[in-house]
Structure 1
Amino acid sequence: MEIDVAKVRNETPGCAKVAHLNNAGAALPPSPVIDAVARHLELEAMTGGYEAAEANAAAIDRFYDAVAGLIGAHRDEIAYVENATRAWDMAFYGIAFAPGERVLTTTSEYSSNAIAYRQRGVQVDVVPDGPDGTIDLDALEDELRRGGVRLVSLNHVPTSNGLVNPAAEVGRLCRAAGVLFLLDACQSVGQLPVDVNEIGCDLLSATGRKYLRGPRGTGFLYARRDVLTSIEPPLLDNAAAEWHAPDYELRPDAKRFETWERYIAGQIGLGVAADYASGLGINAISARVDVLASLLRAELASRPGVTVHDRGVIRSGLVTFSVDGRTPTEIVQAARARDINVNVSEPRWHGYDPDAVEAVVRASVHYYNSEEEIERLLAVL
């Protein structure tokens, strides 16, 4: 199955206005997602919020099956959360660490996650990179053998250099060691095949706004059935638990990570976005992204004064580069003046990377982008 590029571009109104190569920031939503969100907001405006939710109950509930189907999970393992950071937080802050237990992470860990480690005061050991830039699996195995590890926290696709970490191999090592595995998949869900059973993660956080092409202010958390009841979220309300005076009882499913008040239109839209991706086929999406990203890297590398900074054996749709004599901000502004969106990747977004000393330009392609849009970016350079 191949992507019908003309069709998906026709279903993406933004393609008529801009060459959007900032999908790792926030992708352009397709018409079915836009329409689903707009219809519910209009229904709220015309009938009331509670009444609209009752009328659209089936569309709200569809979110759980749509997301579960996309990542190979069960619907009771999926929670709707307002963004990937909060989804990750609800999992991490819900883990009960014993004194001295360690967290293992990578050099490319997101700085927001690093802040959470610091706030909780857990011991963090950074597993070094291998020669290709991905997590060194031998070093990870050595750390697991040392013992005292409670959690391995891995970003599937770093925001800074295009690589794809070997999540399934990490999952195999974690299962053998009996250690929890939390996968930050905010940049991978929607552009790469992500199957939680093949990967073997216990917890997975993701966002709606990036490669899933869902609404901003949406995300989800996956929690495997056999671990979720051992994690008590740091924040609870009467959606996550039932009040039986004078005490409460936590829900037995992943909805223990939810709150009663949420962006209902966004939940509907994110379910539609997951169904849209599944309908196109995640393997077809991944293949198209790889074609475009490979083309862009090759063209950039062939130009004098341009340096491509991507690492890894398997690479994602995130392409990072710099241009001699120009700052990344100058490149972004020059591109935007020609209706082309790219972004700056800053070192401050990376928690432990000793090599992230300079900002770079990040162009992130998606399946609805065209080869002509890549040529437009190259013409700016």
Structure 2
Amino acid sequence: MNIEEVERQRTATPGCARIIHFNHAGSSLPSQATLDAIVEQLQREALGGPMEAADLQIQQRARTAAARLLNAEPESIAFASSGSAAWSQAFNALGPWQAGERILVGRHEWAGNLACIAEAVKAGARLEVIPCDAHGAVDPQALAQMIDRNVRLIALTWLPANGGLINPAAQIGQVAQRHGIAYFIDAGQALGQLPCDVQTLHCDVLKGAGRKYLRGPRGTALLYVRPGFMQRLLPMQRDVLSAPWDGQRFTLREDARRFETSEVSLALLAGLANALEEHNRLGAQAIRRRIEQMSRALRQRLRDIRGLALHDLGREHQQSGLIAFTLEGWNCVALKQALATRGINIGANGVAYTPLDMQARGIESIARISLSYLNTEAEIDVLLAHLSELAAQPQISISTHNP
């Protein structure tokens, strides 16, 4: 992606003129076209009636663009209000858990997913952590040694929220496919940042939020369900869309919309459709190359700041655009707030977000820079200058919980 294209994208994104944004892993900046799509649908509903302004083409556009993003069929895509909601719906649709059944997860699993799994553990299922390799990634060979007939689910957070690790999702999928075990991928930080082909990943379920690297509106998420796996999932939530009356009985749909309801925000889906189409036009490979190039250079420059420690896992030069660090003398939330007062957005995560990994590494919290193709070298220079200045200030400590 050349600098001219980056400038075009920045010009089309009003937030770029007002803020230096390095929190794309939390929520990225939408384009003006995405904002316009949302407002235009709201205006149609306000002027013509919300029900009367319902446009099925909006949903079809979003579904088609999402399918292209994932190399899937539109019928395998459902929409949800958040990535966590999508994952929990799919997990709960697996049905009741029996004593002795095993759930294997990476050490970096998202806490929201672990909260769902905790209910299965109460029923007698066993949660087990797959060992990591020397670089801190989930080890496919170690996973293969753990497989037996009691393993019912393998769950992987592809790109953890607390750093730059990229887990080997496709290799994990090969193990799951070889043994016929259900495989769920949390792709919340991957969608919009890495190329994502569900055929290559060999996953049965994959989810991701629209608000992160896809630059869609908050309150939107994608859920992919492999067609051959669909019949194994019986959603607990049903209505006239997901389980329509056929004249004799209520029957679950055959496609992924068995996870949707008839009540949906078409305005948000209009925005998501536009964001997905913008992403697809730019191309996942071009986006990945730019983010990888910038994050590699930024990691190197961060090492020159006195008192700053990087906390990323994974092979060097094969990491994501999420950069985890701490700054000596600074509480991570206080650091985030200090930068915000200077017009710079970053993130800050605590143990509650990725508890298994943070506890294993003895880390209480991290500050997080998350780069997008929208970011520029000039913005990076400003960020580094302010971090260097703050590193030289006296210790600041506040008692603030992680947001």
2: CA distance between counterparts of 1:38 and 1:31?
Answer: 10
Partner residue, 1:349: 353
Of 129, 137, 143, the match for 2:132: 129
Quote how far apart the aligned CAs of 1:133 are: 0.9
Quote how far apart the aligned CAs of 1:98 are: 5.0
Unmatched segments (≥5 aa) in structure 2: 388-403
TM-score, normalised relative to structure 2: 0.91
Partner residue, 1:217: 219
* 1:151-196 deviation per Cα after TM superposition (whole angstroms, max 9, x unaligned): 1000010000211100000011111111011000011000100000
Of 181, 190, 193, the match for 1:191: 193
Instruction: Kindly indicate whether the alpha-carbon contact (under 8 Å) linking 2:336 and 2:348 is maintained by their aligned counterparts in 1.
Output: yes
* 1:345-375 deviation per Cα after TM superposition (whole angstroms, max 9, x unaligned): 1111113222153211101010011111111
Quote how far apart the aligned CAs of 1:264 are: 1.3
Amino acid at match of 1:286: R
Instruction: Kindly indicate whether the alpha-carbon contact (under 8 Å) linking 2:136 and 2:313 is maintained by their aligned counterparts in 1.
Output: yes
Partner residue, 1:371: 377
Amino acid at match of 2:131: P
1: CA distance between counterparts of 2:176 and 2:187?
Answer: 17
Partner residue, 1:33: 34
**Correspondence 1:14-33 to 2 at 5 A:** 14-33=15-34
Amino acid at match of 1:357: I
* 1:229-262 deviation per Cα after TM superposition (whole angstroms, max 9, x unaligned): 2201121111101124763100000000101111
1: CA distance between counterparts of 2:79 and 2:350?
Answer: 29
Partner residue, 1:116: 116
Amino acid at match of 2:210: G
1: CA distance between counterparts of 2:258 and 2:150?
Answer: 28
Instruction: Kindly indicate whether the alpha-carbon contact (under 8 Å) linking 2:97 and 2:120 is maintained by their aligned counterparts in 1.
Output: no
* 1:10-30 deviation per Cα after TM superposition (whole angstroms, max 9, x unaligned): 011000000000000000001
Tell me how many residue pairs correspond in the alignment.
378
* 1:6-65 deviation per Cα after TM superposition (whole angstroms, max 9, x unaligned): 101001100000000000000000122111111101111111111111xx3222221111
1: CA distance between counterparts of 2:362 and 2:250?
Answer: 46
2: CA distance between counterparts of 1:12 and 1:109?
Answer: 32
Quote how far apart the aligned CAs of 1:2 are: 4.2
Measured on the aligned residues, the alpha-carbon RMSD in Å equals: 1.3
- Structure 1 ranges of 4+ moved more than 4 A: none
Unmatched segments (≥5 aa) in structure 1: none
Quote how far apart the aligned CAs of 1:328 are: 1.1
2: CA distance between counterparts of 1:295 and 1:358?
Answer: 26
2: CA distance between counterparts of 1:363 and 1:98?
Answer: 39
2: CA distance between counterparts of 1:90 and 1:342?
Answer: 30
**Correspondence 1:62-141 to 2 at 5 A:** 62-97=61-96, 99=98, 100-121=100-121, 122-141=125-144
2: CA distance between counterparts of 1:25 and 1:51?
Answer: 35
Partner residue, 1:43: 44
Q: More relative contact order in 1 or in 2 (CA 8 Å, sep 6+)?
A: 1
Partner residue, 2:326: 322
1: CA distance between counterparts of 2:72 and 2:310?
Answer: 36
SS of the residue corresponding to residue 298 of structure 1 reads helix
Amino acid at match of 2:347: N
SS of the residue corresponding to residue 361 of structure 2 reads coil
Partner residue, 2:390: none
Amino acid at match of 2:12: E
Quote how far apart the aligned CAs of 1:341 are: 0.2
Partner residue, 2:336: 332
Q: Which moved more, 1:106-115 or 1:7-16?
A: 106-115
